[in-house]
Amino acid sequence: MRIPALAGATRLLHSLKAPTAWLLGLWLLAGVFATPPALAQDTVSTADIQFTPVQEAAPTAKAADTATAGPVASPATNSDAKAGPAPTAKASQPAAAQTSLWVTFLAGLLGGFAAVLMPCIFPLLPMTVSFFTKRSGTRARGIRNALVYGASIIVIYVALGLLITVLFGADALNNLATNGIFNFFFFLLLLVFGASFLGAFEIMLPTAWANKMDEKADKGGLLGIFFMAATLALVSFSCTGPIIGTLLVQAASMGQLLGPAVGMFGFALALAMPFTLFSLFPGWMASLPKSGGWLNSVKVTLGFLELALALKFLSNVDLAYHWQWFDREVYLVLWVVIFGMMGLYLLGKLRFSHDSDLAYITLPRLFLSIIVLAFTLYLVPGLWGAPLRAVSAFLPPQDTQDFDLYTPSLLAPAVGSGAAPASTAPHKYADLFHAPLGLPAFFDYDEGMAYARQVGKPVLIDFTGHACVNCRKMEANVWPDKQVLPLIRDKYVLIQLYVDDKTELPAAEQTVSKFSGKTIRTIGNKYSDLQASRFNTNSQPYYVLLGRDGQVLVPPQGADYEVADFVKYLDSGLKAYR
């Protein structure tokens, strides 16, 4: 049975208003903005690397084996292997991957709920429910058809996620997180999605596809219901396409093989839920707000969020290739403008082509505009270096800020601390990397270990990355603490190793990894291979505490946002060192 209004649902928008739906919009604003994977361990591509435990052997044999593990072998690396932290690292890897998949699922779930409020979908709810409740014959048959319809939606979108995995493969998905070309493509893609939501154009699939699905839906039976779900997916693509595209970009860039499928499962579950539940309980339809111009307002609000999210991918490219033109203050200025305009839009001061007349501001819409404008003002002090800890994971590093009043205030306690002075000689790669909070870090493993032996201090290795959101969150929220910063600055030699940097090594240093068999061409390749071969993990941030001779003092760990726990971790390394 055909639903004749499917193809023309978007024309029902502007007749009615439903201000109470802005409460849902407020919740979605917080949820969609949180979609970047800030809760998961970031990973860098180590394609073709098979993680294996460090083999225990005689001490001399162990040193020889380690010397062949990668291109950075040295006396320090040889002695490093004898601590054998592989079991701990291997245990942490599945947990990080599981967390990533949960974050992807929740992002998909929130995206699905947002899609329900899109102009192409929300008006279809009453028509679809009417079909299942009035034209299915019996109540039992209507319930069966509603469940099949919901399951069909899930199957269609999960199949799309699996198709992405099959087309790209695990290696390509891992590469997306730090590949400059893909990140720039994602930036442009999200700009297109944002412009679509703002009303510049509609992303449409060929009409013939929807007509074919609609014809097949006329056949009836369970197969006909499946094609009804397929028709919904095709007709609503102009609204759901940007959400689906953004979700797939996020899932793919997290590097998890099942990420796209898990994200699509969350999206489809949220999208199918209202159609199924309202078909099972038709009386609930009376509590729904009426369709109206507010649907387009939800769409435009998501468009602003798409533009803000796009900047993160451009920042990744700028950092990885050291362009140095998209610094923290430039990023923040754009965010201030984007969210400021969003707040003005919610107040009715800006209007787009598809907006209805706004006779008055409803209370929920006023509250939402207050939150957005307050967030905008919260961002402003960041232009002078304020850490902005609530969003620090999404911002470029603090050291890219040209005018920073915050970092010098943290450096003041170093005067008269009695700590051994840091090396004043130029550090290798110091022209490319800058440590957070003005810390005297090394960026080359061998150079840092040599200095540690010279001054008799333990080493804190920080495996980090330009695209690592959790690294930025640790550096902005945990490291500046008055207990943590003195420990890192005065008690340890900090070595930061960037595993996603694209700077090519000199020809003499380019080798073939004896661990993975891949060519080591860049700084990122070098230290990604070191992390994978020595510690059996490729997640960032990853902190390793070493003695001055390279032995692992305590089991390594990843991000830990509890200051007390991180202090305890650093103290445990000092105790083991003594």
d(CA 446, CA 552): 16
- The residue behind tokens 């140095």 is 324
Along the chain (578 residues), what's the average pLDDT of each consecutive run of 10 residues?
38 34 37 39 46 36 35 38 41 52 82 78 73 66 80 84 66 58 82 85 68 63 76 72 72 64 85 82 69 77 89 86 87 96 93 82 90 96 91 87 83 50 70 89 93 93 87 91 92 93 89 85 90 85 90 91 94 92
Helices (H), 380-480: 407-411, 445-455, 469-477
Q: Which of 435, 442, 476 lies closest to 461 in space, CA to CA?
A: 442
CA-based torsion, 118, 33, 160, 136: positive or negative = negative
Burial of 273: CB neighbours in 10 Å, binned 0-12, 13-18, 19+: middle
The per-residue DSSP string of 280-305 comes to: H-GGGGGGSPPPSTHHHHHHHHHHHH
Angle at 256 between CA 322 and CA 318, to 5 degrees: 10
The tokens describing 429, both together, are 């790669």
User: 212 with 230: CB under 8 angstroms?
Assistant: no
Pairing mode, strands 493-498 and 459-464:
parallel
Helices (H), 236-362: 237-253, 259-280, 294-320, 328-346
Helix (H) or strand (E) segment spanning residue 322: none
Cα atoms in the Cβ-side hemisphere of radius 13 Å centred on 413: 14
Sorted by sequence, the CB contacts under 8 Å of residue 387 that are 6+ apart come out as 398, 406, 476, 477, 480
d(CA 248, CA 234): 17
Instruction: Give pLDDT, residue 416.
Output: 44
Pairing mode, strands 519-520 and 511-512:
antiparallel
d(CA 510, CA 523): 10
Give the CA distances from residue 86 to residues 56, 69, 81, 284, 565, in Å, rounded to whole numbers and listed in that order. Answer: 11, 14, 10, 55, 22
Sorted by sequence, the CB contacts under 8 Å of residue 414 that are 6+ apart come out as 489, 490
Instruction: Give pLDDT, residue 526.
Output: 92
User: 560 with 566: CB under 8 angstroms?
Assistant: yes
Biggest CA–CA distance in the chain, Å, is 85
Crossing angle between the packed helical segments 221-235 and 237-253, to the nearest 10 degrees: 80
The tokens describing 573, both together, are 């390394």
User: 246 with 111: CB under 8 angstroms?
Assistant: yes
DSSP-derived 3-state class of residue 321: coil
What is the distance of C-alpha 412 from the center of its chain?
34
Give the CA distances from residue 264 to residues 37, 358, 482, in Å, rounded to whole numbers and listed in that order. Answer: 16, 35, 43
The tokens describing 379, both together, are 């961002």
d(CA 232, CA 85): 52
Tally of CB atoms within 10 A around 432 = 12
Instruction: Give pLDDT, residue 168.
Output: 60
Instruction: Give pLDDT, residue 212.
Output: 67
Instruction: Give pLDDT, residue 217.
Output: 62
Q: Which of 49, 47, 42, 51 lies closest to 170 in space, CA to CA?
A: 47
d(CA 53, CA 535): 9
Sorted by sequence, the CB contacts under 8 Å of residue 273 that are 6+ apart come out as 112, 150
Helix (H) or strand (E) segment spanning residue 25: helix 22-33
